[in-house]
Structure 1
Amino acid sequence: MQSCLQRQQQRLQASHMAAPHPRIRPSLACRAAASASVESIQGVRPEIKEAIAAAVNNCVTETNLPLPNKRVGKVRDTYELDDKIVIVTTDRQSAFDRLLASIPFKGQVLNQTAAWWFAHTGHIIGNAVLDVPDPNITVMKKCTVFPVEFVVRGFMTGSTDTSLWTHYSNGAREYCGNSFPDGMAKNARLAANVITPTTKSETHDVPISPAEIVAQGLMSQADWDTASSAALALFAHGQAEAAQRGLLLVDTKYELGKDAEGNILLLDEIHTPDSSRYWLADSYESRHAAGQEAQNIDKEFLRLWFRSRCDPYKDEVLPEAPVELVSELSARYVYLYERITGQDFVPPPLQQPVGERMLANMAKYL
């Protein structure tokens, strides 16, 4: 395997694995609308903003590691070995079951943020992480994944078809086995954290109740009880950690599965800006009382931009995300990484092809 990696590395010396994102030249009206509707996150170092601007057209949108059994997901490409899974986190930005854009440094931020959380939640539940050999790559123990996403929510919010607020605003008071009272406003804090699970799908996740999960044989009752309890404990821990950093962990999703010994483990990612919604805590109460959207550090503003201009579920062709929004989302990813971990984000050297770097690091690992 190592010799194959080395041969592939040599072939990439004059090329780049990361397919460049097309340069976006929005109209002046579009640019004005984009910048007027989104508040720029404060506290991002100037050198990070410069690195983001330099990397807008140099994102990791696809990978081609010379490893077997490649599967392309919404954001991650996975390669399946005998007893391991190699997960490469790309810069692809997915929502509404579509690819919306590519965001500079997103994959590195997600991978390294998840690594930090994995290292700080082992006391709640074990995880499948074996190594992080590259800023964009995590190697995990091969597990049998539960065909359910454990979506945990602490607030009445969201804009997608599976979001709690979408169903509630359309009149639903029962959702995924949970009951909600009349009169709740968007972005209101829930009386208690809840799980609103969905089926796992590469195309469209479907909300489902715990009773239906067991009845359909997707999980046993014992496995559901263990996994759901762990999900709620992880979320409560994440909320407490976020609060110490002036953040509100609003909602998130977890993936869990069983290893060969039957242990239930946490997989994939945890509390990243892609799997989670974060708001700034100090402005939440005043903005909510005034009927304003919470100041967020996630991709919701990009979802809302697409929602206001098209039907992202049905339209065959979507508008291109303005470069201002792409750069803003990248800055928010980096900001959140630094705020959560307390570590400075280190952008990769742009003069080195990402594919070449990943091949070299995987060659050392394997």
Structure 2
Amino acid sequence: MPLDIPGARHLHSGKVRDLYEVDGGNLLMVASDRISAFDFVLTPGIPDKGEILTRMSLWWFDQLSDIVPNHVVSTSVPERVRGRALIVEKLQMFPVECVARGYLTGSGLIDYDANGEVCGVPLPAGLVDGSRLPEPIFPPATKAEMGEHDENVSFEQVTATIGAESAETLRDLTLRIYARAEEIARSRGIILADTKLEFGTRPDGTVVLGDEVLTPDSSRFWPADSYQLGRAQPSYDKQYVRNWLISTESGWDRAGNRQPPSLPAEVVDRTRERYVQAYEQLTGESF
């Protein structure tokens, strides 16, 4: 259930975030402690997750401000959501999740093993789980509504949806952001394997980076000191939750449509530890 926030009118709830309309034509974006995996919202949430995502996004927005403007207007928010919410611009969002992959893993690995490509992008033979790609690629996806599944699409499909000029702009910005972020993360002992970004436009057509950016919810972070080819990498993101869900311990059948079981306390605690560690190692700040 969305929160009752004085002066804010609830507009929409996604898998993790709740959006409210506030005075001045802006939006109040609240990051909850909800966590999703395989397009399901899981229970219980991860304590402090919303605040970690908000802090980390703000830090990354600063690192990227010379590449692309972002949607943040103010961090002065109602007391009830302080620390986990932002006042942001109301943008016309592109219906595309802009993905940058620098390493082969996850659904990209499944596609590659099947046909040697990822979303229509051909890749060299002989790659394995964890392989660094010759250069980062842009395999976009559709953005699913609550209860629906994200779907990988080709660049040609994106072009058909939003036009060639916008598609090229989003691809170029996504790859530039990934290159900058990958370099920063690597300098702090973290490999940024891939990430998902979202963009929108202002009324004057300016493309703006929105939603969250480069958090453990939207990215794969691997500890550089334990990186090893040919296996699933240890991670600072929600891969720990995914791994538990697909294990025999959970008893959940991913092929079905049944809601996953509740997360055990140990999985919740370990996931929170990973989010905190990612934040502190990247930013150099204590949570």
Count how many residue pairs are aligned between Structure 1 and Structure 2: 274
Shift of 1:325: 1.1
How much identity, in percent, do the aligned residues show? 36
What does residue range 263-302 of structure 1 map to in structure 2 within 5 Å? Answer: 263-284=206-227, 287-288=228-229, 291-302=230-241
Alignment correspondent of 1:204: 149
Residues 72-119 of structure 1 deviation map (CA, whole Å, 9 limit, x = unaligned): 100001113462111100000101110123101100000110011011
Shift of 1:138: 1.0
Supply the distance in 1 between the matched residues of 2:143 and 2:257 (Cα, whole angstroms).
23
User: Do 2:94 and 2:200's aligned partners in 1 also have CA atoms closer than 8 Å?
Assistant: yes
* Residue segments in structure 2 that go unaligned for 5+ positions in a row: 77-81
Residues 298-329 of structure 1 deviation map (CA, whole Å, 9 limit, x = unaligned): 11121011112322352424222221111011
Shift of 1:181: 2.7
What does residue range 229-240 of structure 1 map to in structure 2 within 5 Å? Answer: 229-240=172-183
What does residue range 136-215 of structure 1 map to in structure 2 within 5 Å? Answer: 136-158=84-106, 163-169=107-113, 171-202=114-145, 203-215=148-160
Paired residue type of 1:148: V
| SS across alignment from 2:75 | strand
Alignment correspondent of 1:78: 19
Residues 39-64 of structure 1 deviation map (CA, whole Å, 9 limit, x = unaligned): xxxxxxxxxxxxxxxxxxxxxx8533
Q: Does 1:65 align with 2:65?
A: no
Residues 212 and 317 of structure 1, relative CA distance in 2, 3 Å threshold: closer
Shift of 1:213: 1.6
Shift of 1:188: 1.2
Q: 2:35 aligns with which of 78, 81, 93?
A: 93
Supply the distance in 2 between the matched residues of 1:318 and 1:336 (Cα, whole angstroms).
26
| SS across alignment from 1:257 | strand
Residues 129 and 255 of structure 1, relative CA distance in 2, 3 Å threshold: same
Residues 228 and 278 of structure 1, relative CA distance in 2, 3 Å threshold: same
Residues 182-208 of structure 1 deviation map (CA, whole Å, 9 limit, x = unaligned): 322111111110111011121211111
Supply the distance in 1 between the matched residues of 2:131 and 2:74 (Cα, whole angstroms).
39
User: Do 2:37 and 2:241's aligned partners in 1 also have CA atoms closer than 8 Å?
Assistant: no
* Residue segments in structure 1 that go unaligned for 5+ positions in a row: 1-60, 346-366
* TM-score, normalising length: structure 1: 0.72
* TM-score, normalising length: structure 2: 0.91
Residues 292 and 166 of structure 1, relative CA distance in 2, 3 Å threshold: closer
Residues 214 and 156 of structure 1, relative CA distance in 2, 3 Å threshold: same
